[in-house]
Amino acid sequence: MRNLMKTLLLLAILILPVALSAANPPRRVLVLAERGGLHEGFTATGLKWLESQRENLNIELTVLNTAKEIPQGELKKYQLVLQLNYPPYAWSEASMRDMEKYIDKGQGGYIGFHHASLLGEFDGYPMWGWFSDFLGKIRYRNYIAEKSDGTVQVEDRQHPVMRNVPGTFIVADDEWYTYETNPRPNVHVLAHVDECSYTLKTDIKMGDHPVIWTNPNKKARNVYFQFGHSKLLYESPAFLTLFENAIRWTLGDTE
């Protein structure tokens, strides 16, 4: 009897992880990663961090460096699309239409960083009107090319993305985009940057300057982070908490 009990216990130890894995398969995350250039440090470090978090977040990563490689109908297979500095142009017509459907119909979640709001006519591409509306009816105007530290102030501390994030935190060495119109009337702002805190003297300011927001008018859970230029962000506990919170919220782990 004792040997039988030992055998059954051993079988349970061997089978339980397999059963749990089958019951909770990893969520598929598509990462559109901009490689090379000024943002390579942020993107490369971000990919390493995501890889290190696969088990913690129960995710499976697919990384593409161009949206033109996304087959038609492929996006809906993913539970999350993460735009890791990939810009809102250089997409194929099919991938643009699929992205619109993905967000409008809530086929999955969305997280965008920094370069994802470079909306306008760039590299011979017209502005993607739908994407501009999605991010708050904005159009890129300017940026702090010399880069500056800035203090971010949380506005909605109850939102799941802001959970356990301090009320203020510093983002170092970023570019701080400005837009022709403020997205605030069209989105729910979670945080803004205090332009008086810039460590660089500059006239490139918006006055009211949102830097983290979500568009509640879309069925897909979504959040955009305007910062994301420097790999120094991954040395910030506040940023890492934001990133993890955003993934968990857009995947539906938190309410």
pLDDT in tens, 94-109: 999 999 999 999 999 9
Residue 2 lies in a domain: no
- The CATH number covering residue 184 comes to 3.40.50.880
Q: pLDDT tens across 128-164, in order?
A: 999 999 999 999 999 999 999 999 999 999 999 999 9
- The answer to whether residues 137 and 186 touch, using CB atoms and an 8 Å cutoff, is yes
Residue 149 lies in a domain: yes
Instruction: Name every residue whose Cβ is closer than 8 Å to that of residue 111 and which is 6 or more positions away in sequence.
Output: 80, 81, 82, 83, 222, 223, 224, 225, 246, 247, 250
- Pairing mode, if any, of strands 222-225 and 210-214? antiparallel
Phi-psi region of 31 (alpha: psi -120 to 50; beta: other; left: phi over 0): beta
3-state secondary structure of 8: helix
Residue 183 lies in a domain: yes
- Percent of the chain residues topping a pLDDT of 90: 89
Residue 13 lies in a domain: no
Residue 11 lies in a domain: no
Residue 87 lies in a domain: yes
The terminus-to-terminus CA distance of the chain in angstroms comes to 48
DSSP 126-164: PP-HHHHHHTTS--EEE--TT-EEEEEEES-TTSGGGTT
Residue 6 lies in a domain: no
Residue 16 lies in a domain: no
Token pair for 108: 């999955």
Parent domain of 164: 26-250
Number of domains making up the chain: 1
Among 202, 221, 201, 203, CA closest to 213: 221
Q: pLDDT tens across 75-92, in order?
A: 999 999 999 999 999 999
Q: What is the rounded distance in angstroms from the CA atom of residue 57 to the CA atom of residue 105?
A: 24
- Pairing mode, if any, of strands 140-142 and 80-84? unpaired
Instruction: Name every residue whose Cβ is closer than 8 Å to that of residue 159 and which is 6 or more positions away in sequence.
Output: 190, 214
Q: pLDDT tens across 188-217, in order?
A: 999 999 999 999 999 999 999 999 999 999
